[in-house]
Structure 1
């Protein structure tokens, strides 16, 4: 167990994951924060998935609890916040990891359904607005805190689906807004923009579409990554999140940190 966030209390929203062969970003972040000394509230709309994350943390000697929270339900977000305060009395780190694209019905702008656009935006952007709405007053009262929002490199490149790109670009602006309006309260806010990652959400949703195999999905994605032609993993995102949550980043706020193997540099 490390000490980089020792004694801190962290809420990781989206701490479960869809089934797959690798770790998801939320689970990896929750586990790594716990390894480095944080007490973790693992929140997910799938309680069983969050409980699996807690089991993994407990097996390593960490402290965590699972709660069910759907980010489209403000009452659930309020209850999540209250549960953290009741158990540990503070919120030092809020990590927002929830996101959806293809599974939510995303499409090019000429094909997008209004309901799908609204659903994806509610999950990807509005959900982060609401978790921050409820966590920020707590952080202000205690004199500080750290918020990390997971956006995507899709906000910066020629990503084909309109709802995901638009909502993830909104996450960057939201993060900048939180950073500047809460700096005087000692609250830091930063965004992470993952590139192509070998995670269950990224891979499993593409396998079988048009007859494509898992190996073909992985090979196609690897080919777009300049750095060693290999996708990143959830642990790359988790390590960036740990850094931003730690005191090592105490003078960093309002930053959009790309974790993408240089993909954005290869655009065009």
Structure 2
């Protein structure tokens, strides 16, 4: 009798474990499908804008090119998404693209459309609130709250490699090498300090974070012999992904096909 009871108890425990495992698997599948459905909605919304809207000047054309890149990246990410976290990254990428669409519409004096949810780190990064023209290590940079022929590159704002980059318009996409490498080069704090120090809309906490990171970069470089991915002696970013002599970013170094940014 005791043996029978023991067998029944063991079978009940095994059955309970199998039920819990199946329930957990079903929950994960539902969460993934829900996340993919939400992501698909944003990707389709972005695709409609990319297909129907064409830029009319340098700033709007550049913004739409960036939106198109995000659309391509989101589509590739969707094909690879196997977890709800990856599906949510698809949503984030598509939202970034829609921010570029809004920027293009603003550049063309059009209604920007409905407000979008905040991107990750966007509120922390703040926004460019005034015109800035700076020279760092012999290279000229400009930032503006508005699009223009001198500032055709838009960034929606967010944290790049641990540092906040404000929403605004810039003379060149100087943040993209850090997006690719996942780290800022030596001397990058000089650019942050010159470009954003004292600017309303860019928090002191953000600048302090950039300073702390830059200080640590210097320590790490001293231990490791330096990092070839930072500013070069000629005054611009080196050729490891960004060409300071052109208007944009070398697409060969910026992988839009996966979950790299």
TM > 0.5 between the two? no
- Structure with higher RCO (Cα < 8 A, 6+ apart): 1
Higher share of residues assigned helix: 2
The structure that has the greater radius of gyration is 2
Higher share of residues assigned strand: 1
Q: So what's the TM-score if we normalise by structure 2?
A: 0.28
